Amino acid sequence: MKLLFPILLLFLFEASFSQVVKLNTNQSFQFLEGPVWNGKGALYFSDQNAAKTYKYVPGKGFSIIHSGQITNGMAMDSTGYLMVCEMGTTNQVVQMDTLGVVKKIMVKNYNNKAFNNPNDLCIDKKGGIYFSDPTWGTQTQDKQAVYYIKPTGECIRISGDFIKPNGLCLSPDKKLLYVDDSNDNNVSVFDVQPDGTAINKRVFCILKANTGAVSGADGMRVDTEGTLYIASAVGVQVFDKNGVFIKVIKIPETPSNVAFGGKDLKTLFITAGTSLYSMPVDISGNPLYTSVPAMESLNPVVFPNPTRGLLNISLAKYQSLHIYTISGQEVLSGRALSNPTTINMSSLQNGCYIVKIEADKVVYSSKVFLLK
């Protein structure tokens, strides 16, 4: 009877491991990082040592969208562009389109000093960006810290109380910011304030580590139930929303980062060493804040587009609507009063706007052109 429990654990381990599938069987990479799913059937990620950024479409394969620059963590912004941490010679956060063209430098210094090595990032509901800035070489800042780029473009330091901050993500309700540390076993959590600042740092969970070593914590993601998936030296470590350890997902190579994807966000993509892996999960991942039409199945209709002022939103049910400028400034908001609901945009200047509709905890976003 004493042997039954260890045998059962071994069986569960093997069952979990067998679900992990290597995707690049005919494609060679050097060191992968920064996966992000665009919600429309494609995954983007970085091959850092080759200084290339890739697009992967299941069933169709891999293609290079950008080369000549080391990229790391990525997320999709509110306009459907990639927000990207650049490392190496630039050490900045940029906005890049999905063809690999850099459209805008979001931030390149703090207190008139270059960043160390922007590593990973996540985006809040307002379009603000949290990113980690450890050093993997020369340290230019006085601390290895976490920063926040406000929608206005101002960059502030959230916390410099880390050894080597790395992966970070927001809880499903965006009220908590999680940050791990490659040289520490603690995963920290902050309370996010309305202005984007994060306070009350405390330990959320303690990661498992190799014997006599630290966790080697790297990228992380959260699912819709608040469960954290954290890439580390021992595998992908999984903790529930209360910080209680669930399991370690073993990968043939050391994982560097994770991302939820697939049609229902129930595929976990894992970058690990020279390979891209995937495995099914039971709970959908929490989508990164993007312009992806997560409510496609509800068939929302935004018309006419372009509009001369009056914009109609046709959807049987939604909780709120927000209209933003391309730079992320909110200019109009409201709630559904009828179907369709008519929004008067005539007080705004001509140009492109982002319409975001929230319904049943998902977000639909669309570009709308105002031409009066």
18-42: pLDDT as tens digits: 589 999 999 999 999 999 998 788 9
Domain housing 217? 4-280
What CA–CA distance (Å, rounded) separates 359 from 295? Answer: 8
SS (H, E, C) 129-157: EEEEECCCCCCCCCCCEEEEECCCCCEEE
pLDDT at 330: 80
Q: Is the pLDDT of residue 171 over 60?
A: yes
pLDDT at 291: 40
Co-location of 272 and 313 in the same domain: no
Residue 285 lies in a domain: no
The model's pTM is 0.75
- Name the residue with higher pLDDT: 136 or 40: 136
Lowest mean pLDDT among 3-12, 230-239, 336-345: 3-12
Average pLDDT, rounded, for the chain: 86
* Domain end marker among 231, 251, 280: 280
Residue 287 lies in a domain: no
Lowest mean pLDDT among 204-208, 303-307, 313-317: 313-317
Q: Residue 199 corresponds to which amino acid?
A: I
pLDDT at 246: 95
Co-location of 275 and 329 in the same domain: no
What CA–CA distance (Å, rounded) separates 89 from 97? Answer: 20
Residue 289 lies in a domain: no
CATH of the domain at 361: 2.60.40.3080
Confidence class for position 5, pLDDT limits 50, 70, 90:
very low
Co-location of 254 and 181 in the same domain: yes
Co-location of 236 and 322 in the same domain: no
Co-location of 248 and 336 in the same domain: no
Co-location of 245 and 329 in the same domain: no
Listing DSSP states for 57-117 in one string gives ETTTEEEEEEESSEEEEEEE-TTSPEEEEEETTS-EEEEE-TTS-EEEEEE-EETTEE-S-
**Could you tell me if residue 249 is left (phi over 0), alpha (psi between -120 and 50 degrees) or otherwise beta?**
beta
Residue 291 lies in a domain: no
pLDDT at 312: 85
Q: Is the pLDDT of residue 227 over 60?
A: yes
Residue 334 lies in a domain: yes
Residue 79 lies in a domain: yes
Co-location of 264 and 350 in the same domain: no
Co-location of 123 and 78 in the same domain: yes
Give me the mean pLDDT over the 102-131 stretch.
Answer: 94
Co-location of 40 and 188 in the same domain: yes
Co-location of 268 and 324 in the same domain: no
Confidence class for position 325, pLDDT limits 50, 70, 90:
confident
Start-to-end CA span in the chain (Å): 78
On whether the CB atoms of residues 163 and 183 are closer than 8 A, the answer is yes
Secondary element (H or E) of residue 10:
helix 4-18
* Domain end marker among 280, 306, 321: 280
Co-location of 269 and 342 in the same domain: no
pLDDT at 339: 67
Residue 286 lies in a domain: no
Co-location of 300 and 276 in the same domain: no
pLDDT at 10: 44
Lowest mean pLDDT among 160-169, 199-208, 229-238, 292-301: 292-301
Residue 225 lies in a domain: yes
CATH of the domain at 212: 2.120.10.30
Q: How many domains does the chain have?
A: 2
* Domain end marker among 280, 305, 336: 280
Q: pLDDT tens digits for 229-269?
A: 999 999 999 999 999 999 999 999 999 999 999 888 899 99
